[in-house]
Amino acid sequence: MNAVYGWRNKILRIDLSKGKVDSFAPEASLLKGYIGGRGLGAKLVYDAGRVDAFAPANLLVFAAGPLTGTTTPASGRVSLSTKSPLTGTIFDSNCGGSFGPELKKAGYDAIFIDGKSPEPVFIEIEDDRVELKSAGVLWGKNVKETTSLLKDKGRVACIGIAGEKQVLLASIISDAVHAFGRGGVGAVMGSKNLKAVTVKGTGSVDVYDRAEFAKQKKSINRLLIASPAISKGLSVFGTPFLVKITSWMKILPVSNFRRVEPDFDFDLSPFFAKSITEEYSTMRKACYSCPIACKRADRDGNELPEYETIGLMSANIQNPDYNAVVEANRLCNDYGLDTISVAGVLGCYSEIRDEGIAPAELLRLTEKIGEKDGIGERLGRGSKDFAASEGCSETAMQVKGLELPSYDPRGVKGLGFSYATSNRGGCHTRAYLVAPEILRKPKAIDPYTLAGKAGHTKLFQDRFAAVDSLVVCKFAFFGAGEEEYANILSAVTGVDYTSEDLMRVGERIWNVERQYNLREGFSKDDDTLPERFFEDEVNGRVIDREEFLKTLDEYYRMRGWDENGVPTKRTMKRLGI
């Protein structure tokens, strides 16, 4: 394999405890077998062994993919891998913007961060120059101020006060608006006394066959334009276009997932994409090399919330004010907080109190979580811990400790099954069955049944493990598929990949992650959903427990795992693990 093309064949290694910086060339088999991004991060974190999430030995691995830094459509993303302090699982988080491409231009496939600095520091990278610098003047500042102070040093990924205080819902924010969200990854960064990473690169990523690359790029762009979900949905309205669809399908969570229809006097229309576009004169914003441009900002350039934030901070906590959601979203970005988990724990808090959360209280509680102050300290531990401390564990809408996204699984049963079997906890992006069950892409499947969902879940989980390793935006797969991206990967790297090769890489990554979680004590018992979805019928729908367990057994068989969900030796050998 010629690692000159696509990959930079260099991983930057930083030991914060010793203040030591060096680099190493990864084995060719590691890059070919795990590609980059999530796959590379998963293998490095797994090989590091068992650690406490806040131990200095817990790794932070920022990893780009071989397509990152090229002009491949929708390839401007980067992955972060670590052990989550919120869930205890292996965890990866995927961020857009330009941080990943800048890392590749600086000459690195990944940054491997170990140890804990004795004093607050930030990492400054400019091509071959890598320095640890004092972050004393930055400590105690939130994301936007920190980013502003460091912007001359290139692309910035940093934590706010929430990460410094090791709030378990803390994120890492890139260039003030792009989040490495979920799982408390910002708290891991804070535990290392690492405030920020800045990167500036002047190099470029070499492409093996430029003529073939141009041909494949044109093919992908044509498919993206031809997809109505992209050209008439995401590109026109951004992710909020989903609000109207999910409310119509009666899968938009209401009152902490107890209902799917708001009270008659609760007006959802201000949360619809058309209303937002008209009210805010929205502007399109795109990540590096992305023709979709799904992000939205107001007329002054300020970020506006995505679908998940809108869905969970509106009817699910009985907040009728879209403007409050906008402000809460900005507070989360500035403190460095995961909006899905903040909204999830507030839904739990709302149910326990048996009253909605008013707009002013939404902002007050968000700030308290970010400051780890008063009730915010307890809420910031996540819904599983908070609900248990109140003696109301049934109110925590989570899987493996991770709060659920804004789709009620009783109405999208495959998506719900994918929540249960996700390696990182309650997450819609592991299999992203939003595509076939809601948007009917690449083809429609019935959302109201578990029949056939074991196979669909495995297929989509393997697919998106590979996609997260390229690293490419999942939205691109509303139009293009594995074949197109395997073709362009081959053109970039000079290594022949087929769509089957990509799926095999994805399966390998999924099994490595599964082995990590089993080593941490997770078991078949954790592959489940909150009892509410098995017991409480909503809109005539409920998940049948017996059917769910049969589907789980079928899923294990399809994966080549035993009846307890443990990969067999034969499966591990077949995948070369």
Q: Is 547 left (phi over 0), alpha (psi -120 to 50) or beta?
A: alpha
Mean pLDDT along residues 18-33: 95
State residue 441's pLDDT score.
85
Q: What percent of the chain has pLDDT over 70?
A: 99
pLDDT tens for each residue of 212-236? 999 999 999 999 999 999 998 999 9
Ordered domains of the chain (ranges, CATH): 11-200 (3.60.9.10)
CA 523 → CA 41, 53, 132, 517, 577, distances in Å? 23, 19, 40, 8, 20
Class of residue 29 by CB neighbours under 10 A (exposed 0-12, middle 13-18, buried 19+): exposed
d(CA 12, CA 14): 7
Residue pLDDT, tens place only, 481-535: 999 999 999 999 999 999 999 999 999 999 999 999 999 999 999 999 999 999 9
Q: Residue 157 has what pLDDT?
A: 98
CA–CA separation, 315 vs 347, rounded Å? 10
- Those residues whose C-beta lies under 8 Å from the C-beta of residue 398, and which sit 6 or more positions away, are 344, 382, 383, 384, 404, 425, 426, 530
Instruction: Note the pTM of the prediction, 2 decimals.
Output: 0.96
> In the 8-state DSSP scheme, what is residue 404?
P
Question: How many whole angstroms separate alpha carbon 286 and alpha carbon 326?
Answer: 19
Instruction: Report the alpha-carbon distance of residue 495 to residue 192 in Å, rounded.
Output: 37
Which pLDDT score, from 0 to 100, does residue 49 have? 95
Which residue's structure tokens are 């929708």? Answer: 74
Distance CA 294, CA 178 (A): 12
- Give the number of other CB atoms < 10 A from CB of residue 227: 22
Cβ–Cβ under 8 Å, residues 235 and 224: no
> At residue 40, what is the residue type?
L
Question: In the block, which residue shows the tokens 């990509």?
Answer: 502
Q: And the tokens for 317?
A: 């906590």
- What is the Cα 363 distance to its own chain's centre? 24
R_g of the chain, CA atoms, integer Å:
22
pLDDT at 1: 42
CA dist., res. 153 & res. 322, Å (int): 35
Structure confidence at residue 183 as a pLDDT band (50, 70, 90)? very high
Mean pLDDT of 39-66: 97
Mean pLDDT over residues 84-103, rounded? 97
**Can you give 86-150 as a three-state secondary structure string?**
CCCCEEEEEECCCHHHHHHHCCCCEEEEECCCCCCEEEEEECCEEEEEECCCCCCCCHHHHHHHH
Contact 359, 202 (CB under 8 A): no
Q: What is the dihedral of CA 432, 433, 436, 438, to 10 degrees?
A: -100
Q: Which long-range contacts link 274-283 to residues 24+ away (Cβ below 8 Å)?
A: 274/237, 275/322, 276/237, 276/240, 276/304, 276/322, 277/237, 279/322, 280/304, 282/238
Query: Binning pLDDT at 50, 70 and 90, where does residue 264 land?
Result: confident
Residue 270 CA to chain centroid, in angstroms? 27
Q: Residue 540 class from Cβ within 10 Å (0-12 exposed, 13-18 middle, 19+ buried)?
A: exposed
Per-residue CA distances from 237 to 176, 272, 361, 411 (Å): 22, 10, 29, 24
Whether the predicted pLDDT of 2 surpasses 50: no
- Pick the closest to residue 412 from 239, 186, 253 (CA basis): 253
Q: What is the pLDDT of residues 406-418, one digit of tens each?
A: 999 999 999 999 9
pLDDT of residue 394: 97
Q: What is the mean pLDDT of the chain?
A: 96
* C-alpha–C-alpha distance, residues 147 and 164, integer Å: 15
Q: How far is CA 484 from the centre of its chain?
A: 23
For 443-455, how does the pLDDT look when each residue is reduced to its tens digit (9 = 90+)? Answer: 899 999 999 999 9
pLDDT tens-digit profile of 527-538?
Answer: 999 999 999 999
Element (H, E) at 83: strand 78-83
pLDDT above 80: residue 3: no
Q: Whole-angstrom Cα distance, residue 51 to residue 37?
A: 21
